[in-house]
Structure 1
Amino acid sequence: MDGSIRFAGVANGFGRIVASEYRKGVTPLLTLQESEMSVVASVIRQEMRKVHEAKLGKTLYAVAAYEKVKRATIPMTKGSVLMVSFDILADHESIILHKLLPFLKAHQLLEADITPYRPLMVSEKVPQGSAQADRGSSKSRRP
């Protein structure tokens, strides 16, 4: 789907990896046991985010940036999550918003409604009271 994706895996609601694949030629940074522990932690964090979803809306994705890699957790249907790791210089937001989320939505694997979501460009101003005011306000102030 994109050459900067290092790894993609689907985990069930218990944190068990049910499908996964590394990009050809990629050397995993974590052992299998470390990967399994990391996925369990990601699933727990995703469940913790649900506490605020009644007020904030459903989680679209969460990203962590490390020195060597970026990792995203994308909630799917039936409590599953898509775990994706990217090369450190990847434009992860563009890949998630324009490739991964639409793919998941097209295959009815996404619970969140991504239709109204669109990232703001740095130069755009957010109209007061708009649906994007909360989502994009910090982006619109970035230098």
Structure 2
Amino acid sequence: MSVTQNVNENEEKLLNMILGEIPSSRVAIICDHEGNILWNSIRDNTTSYLTVDETKESLKRSIESWEKRDVLSEKIGKGKYAIVAYDKIKRITVPLPNNHLLFVSLEGEEFGNIQNIMTIVNWVEENMPL
């Protein structure tokens, strides 16, 4: 995958922190609200299960899902993250304050990593505004 636009350098740090601190992370992506990949980081020796086009389609579906969730936010609060579990991976999406979306692919069955990811996201938001 390649960078299609410039991304905030703090978002780049966010991706690097996730790959550095979450051993089961495979891929971390920042995309805009239209589904354009702004930045991505891939763990060394990791082969993507999806093509770039398939990844972009998956991002678009995630964005559409977040748009639908936002309709209910007045009643139930703002969404913090979503997890989709597949046989081979878990995908976590997190809306960022600058209207970008964080997309992380994890290997294995461990769901505890969402706390670690959210700790990193919250630290970056507090210390390095996105």
Answer whether TM exceeds 0.5 for this pair: yes
Question: Where do 1:23-62 residues align within 5 Å?
Answer: 23-62=43-82
Residues 1:65 and 2:94 are matched in the alignment = no
Higher RCO (C-alpha under 8 Å, 6+ residues apart): 2
- How far the C-alpha of 1:56 sits from its partner, in A, is 1.1
Matching residue's letter, 1:79: N
Q: Match for residue 115 of structure 2?
A: 94
Structure 2: runs of 5+ lacking an equivalent: 1-20
Which segment is superposed worse, 33-42 or 91-100? 91-100
Matching residue's letter, 1:9: I
Structure 1: runs of 5+ lacking an equivalent: 110-143
User: Structure 1: how far apart are the matches of 2:104 and 2:25?
Assistant: 7
Q: Match for residue 107 of structure 1?
A: 128
Give CA deviations for 1:92-137 in whole Å, capped at 9, x if unaligned: 322223333333443233xxxxxxxxxxxxxxxxxxxxxxxxxxxx
The 8 Å contact of residues 32 and 100 in structure 2, kept in 1 or not, is answered as: yes
User: Structure 1: how far apart are the matches of 2:90 and 2:108?
Assistant: 6
Matching residue's letter, 1:102: W
Q: What CA RMSD, in Å, does the superposition of the two structures yield over aligned residues?
A: 1.5
Name which of 71, 78, 81 aligns with 2:101. 81
User: Structure 2: how far apart are the matches of 1:44 and 1:27?
Assistant: 26
Aligned length: 109
Matching residue's letter, 1:26: T
User: Sequence identity of aligned pairs in percent?
Assistant: 29
User: Structure 2: how far apart are the matches of 1:105 and 1:84?
Assistant: 20
Distance 1:79 1:97, change over 3 A: closer
Q: Match for residue 36 of structure 2?
A: 16
- How far the C-alpha of 1:81 sits from its partner, in A, is 0.3
Structure with higher Rg: it is 1
Moved over 6 A (4+): none
- How far the C-alpha of 1:79 sits from its partner, in A, is 1.7
Matching residue's letter, 1:77: P
